[in-house]
Amino acid sequence: MHEFSLAQNIIEIVDDTLKQHGAHQAKEIELEIGTLSGVEISALEMALESLKPGTIIENTKVKLIITKAKAICRNCKNEYFPEDLFSPCPKCSGYGPEIISGKELLVKSIVAE
Amino acid sequence: MCDTCGCGSEHDSFTLHKVNETTEHVHEHRHDHENHHHSHTDVDKKVLNVETDILFKNNLLAERNRGFFEAKNIRVFNLVSSPGSGKTTLLEKLIEQLKPSMKVYVIEGDQQTSNDAKRIETAGANAIQINTGNGCHLDAHMINHAVKALDPEENSLLFIENVGNLICPALFDLGENTRVVIASTTEGEDKPLKYPGMFQSSQICVLNKIDLLPYLDFNPEKFIANLKKVVPGQPLFQLSAKTGKDLEKLTDKLLS
């Protein structure tokens, strides 16, 4: 359940950012999570929900942007959307593509007030 | 706030144990908002573009660890596997082989007990145990503290035995030079497919317990084929830590 550690990191990032900007509340936060990031979305949501009480994000709406994985085959340069970390290229069946997106793990923005 | 490294995060508490020492450093971060003094002047609602990696602090600390290791010429290996793959036995054998030529240190990560650190010290390396409590992985912050307590000499080797778990440790850079993933013949041949994140984040793969092959249905060729699907070209060392078969190939690689 590394999602709990990640949720703690998120709270910390929000806390630090609000302080830096002299804001005291986060109305909404936007997270970007790639489908190949190694994060179980439902586990992260659960971790955030259970850690929320008593923290800076207690009353914050959490918006998740799920980024679909995109890869380029190293053999034939075909661009495709892998389902998992070892989906072969649909064109040449090559393995080990270059992942262009899908590994994102970001606090993207905070609506502060 | 942690007074050693100045970090202000609220990690799970963890404890460090040196073998044969009763002192332990309990490190617990608290996050208490009652003590915050916010200036309650009205601030307009605004969108702050943060774009910060959720693992940013861990990665920063990992780089700090890496810089320390580099300056002291300490080569660091992070050993990851599921529980029971034979990591500790492999470490005992590696220590036996390596200690005549180099000083070897070990950071042991487990949820509970100092059993592994004791085994390692018996094998002849200086060891420190991190008990992660409820944590399922080691992080760069824990390593930062453990290394300070271990105080390794220059020109040495440091092995970090991560918590037995093929999922969570994959995301956490510790500042190591090389991550070594260990599977064994008593597990399924599809381990690389089931836990691709861990295999992809590693630079070396070890298949342990090959001495048991005559008694098992495990087909190494299938394992190799699966590994190739997940990480084409990853160096694989098939060995038996118990009998020592082909262990020197791995030690040669680690020292190369």
Nearest residue of A to residue B233 by CA position?
A96
**Position B21 confidence tier, pLDDT thresholds 50, 70, 90:** low
**Position B92 confidence tier, pLDDT thresholds 50, 70, 90:** very high
- How far apart, in whole angstroms, are the C-alpha atoms of residue B183 and residue B137? 17
Q: Do the chains contact at B136 and A2, CB–CB below 8 Å?
A: yes
pLDDT of residue B77: 98
- Chain A interface mutation, best of B37, B52, B132, highest count of A Cβ atoms under 10 Å: B52
Residue A57, amino acid: I
Domain of A59? 2-112
User: Chain A to chain B, count of Cβ pairs less than 8 Å apart?
Assistant: 118
Which residues, 6+ apart, have CB-to-CB distance to B90 below 8 Å? B79, B182, B206, B208, B241
- Domains along the sequence of chain B with CATH: 56-255 (3.40.50.300)
Q: Do the chains contact at A2 and B52, CB–CB below 8 Å?
A: no
User: DSSP strand E in A6-89: where?
Assistant: 26-34, 61-67, 70-72, 79-80
**Position B125 confidence tier, pLDDT thresholds 50, 70, 90:** very high
- How far apart, in whole angstroms, are the C-alpha atoms of residue B146 and residue B75? 16
Q: Are strands B75-81 and B204-208 parallel, antiparallel or unpaired?
A: unpaired
- How far apart, in whole angstroms, are the C-alpha atoms of residue B75 and residue B96? 17
Residue A47, amino acid: A
Q: Do the chains contact at B40 and A95, CB–CB below 8 Å?
A: no
In which residue are the tokens 């070396």 written?
B204
Q: Stretch A54-76: mean pLDDT, rounded?
A: 96
Cα atoms found within 13 Å of the Cα of residue A98, Cβ hemisphere only = 9
The ipTM, to two decimals, is 0.92
Per CB-CB distance under 8 Å, the chain A contacts of B43 are 21-24, 112-113
pLDDT of residue B135: 83
pLDDT of residue B33: 46
- Residue B147 token pair: 């290394």
| pLDDT tens by residue, A66-107 | 999 999 999 999 999 999 999 999 999 999 999 999 999 999
In the sheet with B157-161, reading across from the earlier edge strand, the strands are: B24-27, B14-18, B126-131, B104-110, B157-161, B75-81, B178-184, B204-208, B236-238
- How far apart, in whole angstroms, are the C-alpha atoms of residue B158 and residue A113? 47
Q: Do the chains contact at B54 and A10, CB–CB below 8 Å?
A: yes
DSSP type of residue B4: T
pLDDT at residue B232 tops 70: yes
pLDDT of residue B2: 55
Q: How many domains does chain A have?
A: 1
H-type alpha helices, B128-195: 140-150, 191-194
| pLDDT tens by residue, B25-58 | 444 444 444 444 444 444 578 999 999 999 999 9
- How far apart, in whole angstroms, are the C-alpha atoms of residue B192 and residue B206? 12
Q: Stretch A45-73: mean pLDDT, rounded?
A: 96
- How far apart, in whole angstroms, are the C-alpha atoms of residue B140 and residue B66? 10
Give the CATH number of the domain where residue A21 resides: 3.30.2320.80
**Phi, psi (deg, nearest 5) at residue B244:** 90, 0
Pick the more confident residue, A86 or B11: A86
- How far apart, in whole angstroms, are the C-alpha atoms of residue A89 and residue B219? 26
